[in-house]
């Protein structure tokens, strides 16, 4: 889904208030009744002008339900609210190119006021899954209304919490910079996913480093759950100490993408652990023609490492940090339900909520690799628009 920020500058203060009111109302209403929007926004002069302005640019959508007419927030509207928060906090000043379209996320390069580039990841859990979920109305009814909004927010919160914990404990992950609603902002890693790398000088060395990382995660109580060539970025750095004849470049793997991370005490921990290990094994065999002599690492061995050297268990720490066990369970149940698990059918229910309802959007959807269920965007397919600043009209 594109992120078109051009309407931001035309929204007036009261439009933002109305948009925020629709968001607030969505917490308890699938369709927010118009009078409630008026009440929450507290706008004496009426909300109709703002409502039509917002609906016109697709930030809210009119919807009839059995009993009344009202509005619901669209993904576009939620994107704007998150961007406006970042703009106010000076986390994001401009939005540039889209660099990734995953099944459940969109990735953009953004910049702060000084022009330092960052990455904005927008979680879009309902997008692929909405049709599947729709097929099971009962399930939706048991969730809070605006399920996609809530679940995408949980995914962003979870990712931010784990990235923070990992970063604080010296893991090679991007620096988490900010979180709002269904989005996070992190540092930009100047590197390509391992998937795009055709050869490396020392496959054995890189392989060992990745297995060490899987075991180190286990030591901290964690399993990544989607440890594969898409979620490992390979950073090339000049090796300053290299002597003549030695490799002048070092390759550093950086780990990304944490919404499916699980505790090593999870019921299916062994399954996830083995899958992570085997993804790497398979990729190294196919891509680099490298097969390790040793069979492992095995789950039993990983279990023994938990808490070794007195390290903090990050599964426990994250739970305490605000991403509660209840939230983790809700997110996991939803992801499972809709096949967001790395091994779900990648083509299942592709498309998004908006397009199935009202507007058809002409987003680029690229082919999906059958092996891992992640989609990639070729760089030339990415929209090549210039960075646009998040200008807004005065009195914000």
DSSP 227-243: -STTSEEEEEEE-TTPP
Question: Which residues, listed in sequence order, are joined to residue 32 by a DSSP beta bridge?
Answer: 71
**Is residue 257 a contact residue for Mg ion (CB under 5 A)?**
yes
Out of ligand ADP, Mg ion, none, what residue 99 binds, judged by CB under 5 to 8 A for its kind, is ligand ADP
Judged on CB neighbours under 10 Å (0-12, 13-18, 19+), 283 is buried
13, 99, 317, 368: which one binds ligand ADP (CB under 6 A): 99
User: How far is residue 376's CA from residue 266's CA, in Å, rounded to a whole number?
Assistant: 30
Using CA atoms, how far apart are residues 301 and 337, in angstroms rounded to an integer? 31
Q: Report how many residues bind ligand ADP under the rule CB under 6 A.
A: 18
Q: Which stretch, 52-60, 101-109, 288-296, 353-361, contacts ligand ADP (CB under 6 A)?
A: 101-109
Pairing state of beta strands 183-187 and 222-223? unpaired
- The burial class, CB within 10 Å (0-12 / 13-18 / 19+), for 320 is exposed
When asked if residue 352 is in the footprint of ligand ADP (CB under 6 A), the reply is no
With respect to ligand ADP, which residue has the nearer C-beta, 7 or 167? 167
Across the beta sheet with 249-255, the strand order is 192-193, 232-238, 249-255
Q: What string marks each residue from 168 to 187 as x (binds ligand ADP by CB under 6 A) or -?
A: ------x-----------x-
Is residue 344 close enough to count as binding ligand ADP by CB under 6 A?
Answer: no
372 is catalytic: no
Residue nearest to ligand ADP (CB): 102
Rounded Cα–Cα distance for residues 215 and 303 (Å): 9
Instruction: Please tell me whether residue 231 binds Mg ion under the rule CB under 5 A.
Output: yes
Angular region, 146: left φ>0, alpha ψ -120 to 50, beta rest: left
Verify binding: residue 110, ligand ADP, rule CB under 6 A: no
**Is residue 111 involved in binding ligand ADP (CB under 6 A)?**
no
The two three-digit tokens of residue 370, written as one number: 């059958």
In the bound complex, which residue of the shown chain has the CB atom lying closest to Mg ion?
A: 257
Catalytic residue among 106, 226, 257, 315: 226
Could you list the active site residues? 226
Residue ranges in contact with Mg ion by CB under 5 A: 230-231, 257
Residue ranges in contact with ligand ADP by CB under 6 A: 99-100, 102, 104-105, 107, 119, 121, 174, 186, 188-189, 193, 230-231, 256-257, 374
């Amino acid at each position: 889904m594109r992120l078109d920020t051009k309407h931001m500058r035309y929204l007036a203060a009261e439009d933002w208030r109305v948009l925020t009111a629709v968001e607030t109302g969505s917490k308890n209403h699938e369709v927010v009744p118009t009078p409630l929007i008026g009440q929450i926004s507290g706008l004496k002069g009426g909300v109709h002008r703002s409502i039509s302005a917002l609906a016109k640019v697709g930030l809210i959508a009119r919807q009839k339900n059995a009993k009344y007419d009202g509005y619901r927030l669209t993904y576009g509207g939620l994107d704007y609210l998150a961007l406006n928060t970042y703009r106010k906090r000076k986390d994001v000043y401009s939005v540039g190119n889209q660099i990734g379209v995953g099944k459940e996320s969109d990735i953009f390069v953004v910049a702060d006021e000084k022009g330092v580039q960052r990455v904005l990841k927008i979680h879009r859990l309902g997008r692929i899954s909405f049709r599947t979920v729709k097929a099971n109305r009962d399930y939706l009814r048991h969730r809070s209304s605006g399920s996609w909004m809530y679940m995408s927010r949980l995914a962003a919160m979870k990712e931010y919490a784990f990235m923070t914990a990992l970063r604080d404990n010296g893991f090679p992950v991007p620096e988490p910079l900010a979180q709002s609603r269904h989005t996070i902002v992190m540092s930009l890693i100047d590197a390509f996913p391992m998937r795009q790398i055709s050869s490396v000088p020392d496959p054995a060395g890189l392989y060992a480093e990745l297995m060490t990382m899987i075991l180190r995660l286990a030591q901290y109580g964690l399993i990544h759950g989607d440890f594969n060539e898409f979620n490992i970025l390979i950073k090339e750095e000049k090796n300053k100490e290299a002597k003549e004849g030695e490799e002048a470049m070092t390759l550093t793997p950086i780990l990304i993408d944490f919404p499916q991370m699980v505790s090593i005490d999870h019921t299916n921990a062994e399954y996830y652990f083995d899958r992570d290990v085997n993804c790497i094994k398979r990729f190294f065999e196919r891509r680099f023609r490298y097969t390790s002599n040793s069979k492992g690492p095995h789950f039993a061995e990983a279990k023994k490492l938990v808490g070794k050297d007195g390290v903090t268990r990050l599964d426990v720490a994250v739970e305490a940090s605000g991403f509660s066990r209840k939230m983790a369970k809700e997110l996991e149940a939803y992801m499972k339900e809709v096949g967001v698990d790395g091994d779900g059918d990648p083509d299942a229910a592709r498309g998004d909520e908006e397009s199935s309802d009202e507007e058809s959007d002409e987003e680029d959807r690229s082919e999906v690799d059958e092996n891992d269920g992640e989609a990639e965007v070729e760089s030339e397919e990415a929209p090549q628009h210039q960075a646009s600043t998040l200008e807004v009209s005065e009195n914000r």
